[in-house]
Homo-oligomer: A and B are copies of this chain.
Amino acid sequence: MEGSRTDFVVRLAGESGEGVLSLGEMLTTALARLGYEVYTFRTYPAEIKGGTVLYQVRVADHLLLSYGSQVDIFVALNEEGYRDNISALRPGGTLIYDSDNVPVHDLPNNCVVPVPIGTIAKKEIGSVLTKNVVALGAILRYIGAPVQAGEQIAEQTFKRKGEEVVQKNFQALHAGYNYIEQYADCSRPLLQGVAEVNPNRLIINGNEALALGAVHGGLEFYAGYPITPATDIMEVLAPILPRFGGVVMQAEDEIAALGMVLGASFAGKRAMTATSGPGLSLMVEQINLAGQAEIPAVIVDVQRGGASTGLPTKTSQGDLNIAVYGVHNESPRVVLAPTSVEDCFYLVQHALNIAERYQVPVIVLSDQSLGHRRCTIPKPDLMRVPRWERIVPEPGTNGEYARYAITETGISPMAIPGMPGLAYTATGIEHNEYSDPTYTPENLQAMKSKRFRKLQTLGEEYAEQFVRIWGDPEGADVGIIGWGSTEGVIREAMQLAQAEGVKAAALYPKMLMPLPVHIIEEFASKVKRVLVPEKNFTGEFAAYLRAQTNVRPISYAKDTGLPFDPEEIKEEIIHVARM
């Protein structure tokens, strides 16, 4: 980060239901369109109205790996938001606040900018609904962005509500912009220089990237049941998939959603569902059916905070255990975890591919912080992940087709209804090669081995391709093994640690089941100590590594509902290095 000219963090906090999320999204898009890199985080209460929404955007002229450690500009739109977040503002940072709503006490170390946002919106513009656009104008001016950046996004946002609304919002934008121009005494142009606008970039979040990736990966059938924070995957797909000839169904619950997915997949379609913890729990029985009856299916779990209903709008990495172990008795499954917004686009294509080729359920573990992380990514490469098709048998004569033929790879060619002479009955009862119910010990051993052999084949052929290593493990003080959404923040923390003289390397396996055991053990053997940071309470991944590999890691498990902070991880790296 040394040498970079622009790198700052804006945090917004305000009443739920008052347009804070929308303000954050507009600000983010406006800045990204100016050519800056952006990286966001948001969290909001589980209620529709009431409680505080928090939106944080980090802006820089270089690649961003986290949403930052400290806040440079804090925009407080309600009292509770102010109270809960003011301590995050760094000394010397700026507080911009709605002086109609927020009583502010002495802040000797900060620049303080009161803006009567409510009054401006109501009195000057004549609509309290424009409050967030007044704030947008004020922020843009304060950081030195041109007002046109705001106009463009306001127009796009309000276009479908009619010209009148657009004009009102233009007024609001300018009012906020001008207010700062006239009254603020410490406004600083934080946007240094002019970034170059790169058309080969997207401003997108993890859920959106995953949905688009699935469409590109040939998704033909989606069934789901709404649940925070996964619902927007279905909402992105609903208007799009039919254009590609696909179907999106809202089911009556998650059990039905996966039932429909399995039906569609059995009938030959690439099929997927997305949910969060409570929904995944309800799917457990049929995920097992998919493993046992060898029916392809992709199940996306956008993990959220807390057990049971827990903290539905917060983040966590708490579903690893149920993803890898949530099955009565044993059937094979694959578990993948994307590590970045960009990765969401690609990994879901792999998930669809693996499900089809290996006839297994594939669980994709995203999380709220990744799903709702809006940031700039290079425009995805549409050629990167080639399509794998299901292996189907030659037409045959009914009664002769061995649906569950025992093969070396474990993969048995799978017929699709409509194919002539291959009629068979898929079943979750233990069966022989011809899918007839069979209960002998010999058959059980043969069939279970065959099914699990598929994971072995997959692991051997592809484990390496799903591993990313950062830094040089050879002789590193600390080797981090992490998973999922924490990759960026860990990389940033490694840089920070490096600056303090501690050498760290990191390994991220995106395929968690089957686990690339040899690669992990090799990595671990090169570093002095292994640290496993994760956002949960019991250290699920660390325990999983202990169970599956010879690595004895140090677990850093912390469950807060919020993503890691790079400073915090840096401290932990240094702590472990000096242990």
Contacts and interface: CB of A to CB of B under 8 A. Distances in A.
Interface of A: 45-46, 51, 84, 276-278, 280-282, 284-285, 288-289, 291-293, 303-314, 316, 318-319, 321-322, 324-331, 427-430, 437, 439-441, 444-445, 448, 452, 536-538, 540, 543-544, 546-548, 559-562
A374 to B, nearest CB: 21
Contacts of A445: 559-560
A276 B288 CA distance: 14
Candidate in A278, A291, A304 with the most chain B CB atoms within 10 angstroms: A278
Given A322-B327, A441-B561, A307 B292 contact: yes
Contacts of A51: 439
Pairs of residues from A and B, 6 with the lowest C-beta to C-beta distance, nearest first: A277-B328, A308-B428, A318-B329, A441-B560, A307-B331, A292-B308
Say how many copies of this protein the assembly contains: 2
Contacts of A441: 560-562
Contacts of A310: 292, 329, 428-430
Given A284-B322, A444-B306, A445-B559, A330 B538 contact: yes
Nearest to A326: B326
B452 A537 contact: yes
A18 B277 CA distance: 47
Given A321-B325, A445-B559, A537 B330 contact: yes
Contacts of A46: 429, 437, 439
Nearest to A427: B309
Contacts of A326: 281, 284, 321-322, 325-326
Contacts of A45: 439
Contact of A439 (B281, B291, B561): B561
A429 B311 CA distance: 6
Nearest to A280: B328
Contacts of A536: 329-330
Contacts of A318: 328-330
B328 A322 contact: yes
A281 to B, nearest CB: 4
A407 B303 CA distance: 29
A307 B292 CA distance: 6
B444 A559 contact: yes
Contacts of A304: 329
B330 A308 contact: no
B314 A439 contact: yes
A448 B331 contact: no
Given A310-B429, A318-B329, A448-B559, 17 more contacts: A45-B439, A46-B429, A46-B437, A281-B288, A281-B327, A284-B322, A292-B307, A305-B444, A309-B427, A309-B428, A321-B326, A322-B328, A324-B325, A330-B538, A441-B560, A445-B560, A546-B546
Contacts of A328: 276-278, 280-281, 303, 307, 318-319, 322
Contact of A278 (B285, B322, B544): B285
Contacts of A303: 328-329
A228 to B, nearest CB: 12
Given A285-B281, A430-B305, A439 B330 contact: no
A291 to B, nearest CB: 6
A560 B444 contact: yes
Nearest to A284: B281
